[in-house]
Homo-oligomer: A and B are copies of this chain.
């Protein structure tokens, strides 16, 4: 590809690197920006991996996305941050499970899923305005519409919150959809095969026991569902 082609492609898709080139079942690889954004926006937690004294750690944490930056609470990586000034090498993964794939053979059982893996250096956000925007993104990511209703972070709260920013540059998605793929020789076995779709659904909200009895849950709570 010419440099111009690469540039054009990068507007709609992430450019694969050695690390983000999917080697296992490569036909499931997806570098499309809209696909990546939709997975990140639907997920509720990410799993952040980092290295301490040569050993891996993986911690679940909340996140928010603003354009091509993923923001996370810095506390999971705070042990790292104390050691590494400037930036922390991380790998952040978000996974959605869409269904259970039941084949006729044990071997071909699978999951339908969508996942995103991001590699890069996460940097501490020190600018107070950017930090505030990141906290807004965290809240709106979990419950769209919530931010305007709540007390915004105070100066003290902002100062006491570690926020890390990870640019979406080295990114890949992996997606499996559809029915099981059995070996041809197994297709006549008298075994039911198919997919059990899974969904994350909200149950009716539970009022805080301390709630003022005059307050009712807003529409974005009563009709809550993931995007």
Contact = CB atoms under 8 A, between A and B. Distances in A.
B180 A192 contact: no
A197 B206 contact: yes
B50 A47 contact: no
A72 interface: no
Task: Bin the interface of chain A by size.
Answer: 35 or more
A189 B214 CA distance: 12
A195 B210 CA distance: 12
A192 B75 CA distance: 28
Contacts of A191: 149-151, 215
A186 B47 contact: no
A55 B150 contact: no
Nearest to A142: B100
Interface of A is mostly: mixed
Contact of A189 (B119, B151, B200, B206): B151
A112 to B, nearest CB: 10
B194 A208 contact: yes
Interface in A202-217: 202-212, 215-217
Interface in A13-47: 19, 23-24, 44-45, 47
A70 B95 CA distance: 20
Contact of A109 (B23, B93, B139, B224): B139
18 contacts: A44-B100, A45-B95, A50-B56, A56-B89, A60-B95, A60-B115, A105-B150, A105-B151, A106-B152, A107-B153, A143-B196, A151-B189, A151-B191, A192-B215, A194-B211, A195-B206, A196-B205, A196-B221
Q: Pick the 7 closest A-B CB pairs, nearest first.
A: A49-B58, A49-B56, A47-B47, A49-B49, A60-B95, A197-B203, A193-B208
